[in-house]
């Protein structure tokens, strides 16, 4: 009897220990180091607020945070639109379960391949001599290659949508599949047209999935640095990129202060999403 009582604790302990060691402890370290002091060669224990003061008082920080939020809003809007309709198509227009599974896998497979290679793969498309420019020039639409395609905000947003839409598709598809088809029949019998069914039945019931997808996309974009660095060619800034630059300069306390601020903002955004939509019953 006693053994079966402690069984769940034994089973849960590896997960708990790993998360304590590699999630809780590191974040506690970040918070601690954010109060430390540093010079050009090392960091040392202290209790100073200068890291936060310097971060908050710098206009560069504010611009960077605003720029990151701008990416977040644009990418969120695009991934939500694309993700919803792809999930809707799979859930309601594909009738055979096998076909549904196959098409869903087609959408999921790129998620399991390397993000970096998927970013690199835009170069031959968007570059100055890339496929898009060559096509447009051949069609006579433009006479000069378009310069804004690669290494620009446009490229950053495009790559992020490319990388992160799947995080929207999967949870929305999940909730759509669970909608009782009788509800839709009932709405139609009650005289609702397709648009009314969508806005009054399907979207309200899909809200938990939309919320989960939004949390994924918002947190991924807010913390992103590699897409911004690579696709903007170093011309745009994001919070993650600012942090990774500080890390490269060994300014760990400054990076840590930034990390704490970023974490607080991300948690506030997630809390805001959770206030609007209750996802508990999804889990």
| Residues in region 47-106 near another protein by CB under 8 A | 82, 85-86, 88-90, 92-93, 103, 105-106
Smallest distance from the beta carbon of 53 to another protein, in angstroms?
20
- CB-wise, 12 or 66, nearer to another protein? 12
138 is a site residue for another protein (CB under 8 A): no
State the nearest-atom distance from the C-beta of 49 to another protein, in Å. Answer: 19
Q: Which of residues 203-222 bind another protein (CB under 8 A)?
A: 215-216, 219-220, 222
Piece of 52-60, 69-77, 123-131, 137-145 that binds another protein (CB under 8 A): 123-131
Q: Which of residues 216-275 bind another protein (CB under 8 A)?
A: 216, 219-220, 222-226, 230, 240, 243-244, 247, 252, 255-256, 259, 262-263, 266-267, 270
SS (H, E, C) the chain: CHHHHHHHHHHHHHHHHHHHHHHHHHHHHHHHHCCCEECCCCEECCCCCHHHHHHHHCHHHHHHHHHHHHHHHHHHHHHHHHHHHHHHHHHHHCCCHHHHHHHHHHHHHHHHCCHHHHHHCCHHHHCCCCHHHHHHHHCCCCCCCCCCCCCCHHHHHHHHHHHHHHHHHHHHHHHHHHCCHHHHHHHHHCCCCHHHHHHHHHHHHHHHHHHHHHHHHHHHHHHCCHHHHHHHCCCCCCHHHHHHHHHHCCCHHHHHHHHHHHHHHHHHHHHHHHHHCCCHHHC
Query: Which residue, 63 or 234, is less far from another protein as judged by CB?
Result: 234
Q: By CB under 8 A, how many residues form the interface with another protein?
A: 82
At its nearest, how many Å lie between another protein and the CB of residue 134?
7
User: Least distance (Å) from another protein to the CB of residue 80?
Assistant: 14
């Amino acid at each position: 009897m006693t053994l079966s009582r402690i069984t769940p604790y034994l089973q849960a302990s590896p997960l708990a220990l790993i998360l304590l060691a590699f999630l809780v402890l590191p974040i506690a370290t970040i918070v601690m180091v954010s109060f430390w002091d540093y010079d050009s060669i090392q960091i040392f224990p202290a209790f100073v607020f200068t890291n936060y003061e310097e971060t908050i008082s710098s206009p560069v920080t504010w611009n960077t945070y605003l720029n990151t939020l701008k990416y977040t809003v644009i990418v969120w809007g695009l991934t939500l639109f694309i993700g919803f309709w792809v999930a809707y198509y799979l859930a309601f227009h594909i009738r055979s379960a096998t076909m549904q599974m196959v098409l869903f896998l087609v959408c999921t497979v790129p998620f399991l391949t390397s993000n970096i290679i998927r970013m690199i793969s835009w170069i031959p498309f968007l570059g100055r001599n890339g496929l898009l420019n060559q096509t447009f020039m051949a069609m006579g639409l433009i006479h000069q290659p378009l310069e804004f395609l690669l290494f620009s905000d446009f490229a950053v947003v495009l790559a992020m949508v490319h990388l992160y839409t799947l995080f929207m598709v999967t949870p929305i598809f999940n909730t759509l599949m669970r909608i009782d088809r009788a509800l839709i029949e009932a709405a139609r019998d009650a005289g609702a047209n397709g648009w009314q069914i969508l806005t009054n039945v399907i979207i309200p019931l899909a809200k938990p999935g939309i919320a989960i997808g939004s949390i994924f996309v918002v947190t991924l974009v807010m913390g992103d640095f590699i897409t911004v660095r690579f696709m903007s060619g170093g011309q745009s800034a994001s919070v993650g990129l600012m942090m990774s630059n500080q890390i490269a300069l060994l300014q760990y306390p400054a990076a840590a202060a930034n990390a704490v601020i970023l974490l607080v903002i991300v948690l506030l955004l997630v809390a805001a999403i959770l206030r609007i939509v209750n996802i508990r019953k999804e889990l």
